[in-house]
Amino acid sequence: MQGRSREEVIQQDIRDLHKLGYAQELFRTMGGFSNFAISFSIISILTGAVILFNYGLALGGPASVGIGWPLVTVFTLLIAATMAEIASAYPTAGGLYYWASRLRNKDWGWWTAWLNLGGQISIVAGINYAAAFYLAATFLNPVFGIDPNVETLGVLNAIWITGVLILIEIGFNVAGTRVVAFMNDLSVWWHIGFVAAIAILLFVAGSQPIHDLGFLFSVAPAGTTAEGAPIASILPFGVAGAFALSLLQAQWTYTGYDASAHVAEETVRARAASAWGVFLSVAVSAVAGYVVLTALTLKMTDPADVLANSTGGGGVAYILETNLGAGLGQLGGLLALGIAFAMTFAGFSSIASSGRMLYAFARDDGMPGSGWLKKVSHRYRSPANSVIAISVASWLLIALIYVLTKAFGGDPLFLIAGVTGVSTVLLYWAYGLCIALGLWGDQSWRNERVWSLGRWSRPMALVSVVWIILISPLFLYPFPLNPAALATTAGFLVLLAIYYVVWARARFKGPHRMGAEAELTEIEKEFEQAAEQLGG
C-alpha cells in the first residue's frame, strides 16, 4: 500500500468518500481480493454457463461454446475495462447511478439507477431460481423426493425453495461486511476448484469418447420446435440467427461485475481495488469458463441426445452423469451437487451487491420508501433494510413471471430464459449509458481516475457502446423459449416513464451531500459509539 499503514489507507478512502458527499456508514474492511471475489462470484461460470447450456446448444450447437464464448468475452472485456476507469474516479456504493449523475445530470442518473436496479432484481431472481432448481434436482429430489417441477399450493416447488434460499442469504448478508467478504472469498475457491475437478475428471475418467476439436466450432443448432421442425427454420436468418440468439448463454454469465463498484465504500484502497475487481472478475471468468465449457462440450454425447435426455439438472448434469455416473454415490452426481452450491454462493453475492446499490440510491431519496431503505444497521454496519427489500422483490418477480407464463399458456420450465434476458438487457443498458456518458459527458472524471486505459480509452468505450446496442434486440427477441423478456422489459420501461413524468422529473434532486465535513464526521462517530454500546 505504497508504504502507508492499512489505517492510513482507510482514512484516505474516507476522505475520498467525503469529497463525494457521503459519510462512512458502512464498515470498510474488504481487501482487494474480496472486492474481486464478489464480482467473480456473481458472474459465476457455474451458474450462467451451466443453467443456459441447453439454451446455447439448442440455438448455436457446440459453437455456442467454441465460438460464442470467446466472441462475447472480447467485447465484455472492453466493457469491463471502460467501466473500471470510471469506477476508479468515483469510489462510491452508488456505482453506476452516481457515475451517470456526475457525468451528465440527475435525470440521466435516475434512469441509469432504475435500469441497474431492474437488472439487479432480475439477476438475483435468476441466479437464486437456478440455484434452487439445481439443488432440488441434484439433492432434494433424490434424497427427500422434493421434485422442483411439482406444484405446492399452485406454485412450483422450485420457487418455494428459492424463497428459502433467499431467506438464508438475507441472514448472512445482514450479518455484516466481514461475513460477506468471507463468503465471497470462499466462493472463488469453490468455483475454481470445481471447474478444475470437472475438466480433469471428464478427460481422465469420463467414459464417453472425446469429440475431435472441429466439433467445438460446429454451428449446428440442435433444438427443434414442438412440431419437430429444426429450430433454425422458424428464425430470421436461419442458422446464423439462431447462433446469434445463443450468445445469451455467455452474455448473461458475464453480468453483475459492477458489484465491485457497489461495495467500494466497504473496500480498502477503493479506487484501485474496485477498478481491478471489475476487470479481473471478467478476465478470470473468461479463462475458467472456457476451460469447463470446452471439457463439457467435447465429452458430451450427441447434442440431440443431450437435449432429449436432460432432466431437472439440465444438459450439464446429464453430461457429468453419462461420463462419471449418476447419483450422489458417483462422481457425476457429486460434481452436479457441487455446481448447485456454487450457484447458491452466486445468489448470496448477488443479494450483497444489489442491496448496496439500492441503499445508495435510497440515500439520495431516489425512490418510494427511501427513508426506510437507507437505514444502516448500527450493529453490523450493513444496509439491512435494502438487502431485505431487494430479496423480497426478486422472489416476487419470479412468482409473477411464473403466474403470467401459466396464464398465457407458456411452459413455466422456460421461466429462467425470460428472467435472464431481462437482467442481461437492463444491466447492459445501465453499463452502456455510463460508458456513453463517459465519452460525451463531463470529462473532468478523467482527472480523478487512478486506473487508466490511456489513448485506448475512447476507442474501447465506443466499441463497447456499439456492442451493447447490437445485442439488445437479440435478447429481447420474442423467441418461443424466451417469450417474457420483451413484454417484461417494455412494461418496466412504460412504468418508469410514467413515474418519471409524474414524480421524479420535478422532485428528484440527484446525489447530494449528507452534510458538511464536520457533520459527516459526526455521523461516523455515532455509528462507532453505537457499535461499542451494542458490543459490535
430 is in which domain, residue-wise?
Answer: 31-512
Number of domains in the chain: 1
Which backbone phi and psi does 81 adopt, to 5 degrees? -65, -45
pLDDT at 415: 63
More confident residue, 423 or 3: 423
Query: Is a pLDDT exceeding 60 seen at residue 4?
Result: yes
Residue 528 lies in a domain: no
Q: What are phi and psi of 155, to 5 degrees?
A: -130, 140
State whether residue 321 is helix, strand or coil: helix
Residue 3 lies in a domain: no
Q: How far apart are CA 424 and CA 14, in angstroms?
A: 33
Given a cut of 70, whether residue 173 has pLDDT beyond it is yes
pLDDT in tens, 489-513: 898 999 999 999 999 999 999 998 8
Residue 429 identity? W
- Average model confidence (pLDDT) for the chain? 89
137 in any annotated domain:
yes
Separation of alpha carbons 337 and 280, rounded Å: 27
21: in domain: no
Count the Cβ atoms, other than its own, within 10 Å of residue 216.
Answer: 17
Structural domain includes residue 8: no
Q: Is residue 22 part of a domain?
A: no
Non-local (6+) Cβ contacts of 51 within 8 A are: 130, 133, 134, 314, 343, 416, 420
pLDDT of residue 1: 45
Please name which of 366, 392, 435 lies closest in space to residue 103, comparing C-alpha atoms: 435
Cβ neighbors of 516 (< 8 A, separation 6 or more) are: none
Average pLDDT on 76-84 reads 97
Per-residue model confidence (pLDDT) at position 400: 81
CATH code: domain of residue 221: 1.20.1740.10
- DSSP string covering 91-157: -STTTHHHHHHHHT-HHHHHHHHHHHHHHHHHHHHHHHHHHHHHHIIIIIHHHH---TTSEETTEEH
Is a pLDDT exceeding 90 seen at residue 175? no
pLDDT band, residue 536 (cuts 50/70/90): very low
Query: In this predicted structure, what is the pLDDT of residue 487?
Result: 81
151-152 and 155-156: which strand pairing?
A: antiparallel
Asked if the model's pLDDT at residue 60 lies above 90, the reply is yes
User: 60 lies in a domain?
Assistant: yes
Tell me the pLDDT band of 352, cut-offs 50, 70 and 90. confident
Q: Residues 403-421: what's their mean pLDDT? A: 67
Residues 6+ apart with CB under 8 A from 499: none
Per DSSP, the three-state class of 224 is: strand
Alpha carbons within 13 angstroms on the beta-carbon side of residue 301 total: 17
The secondary structure of 142-196, three-state, reads: HHHCCCCCCEECCEEHHHHHHHHHHHHHHHHHHCCHHHHHHHHHHHHHHHHHHHH
Q: For residue 177, tell me if it sits in a domain.
A: yes
Average of pLDDT values for 258-287? Answer: 94
pLDDT confidence of residue 104: 94
Q: What is the pLDDT of residues 137-163, one digit of tens each?
A: 889 988 888 888 788 887 788 889 999
The partner residues of 156 in beta bridges, in order of sequence, read 151
The structure's pTM equals 0.92
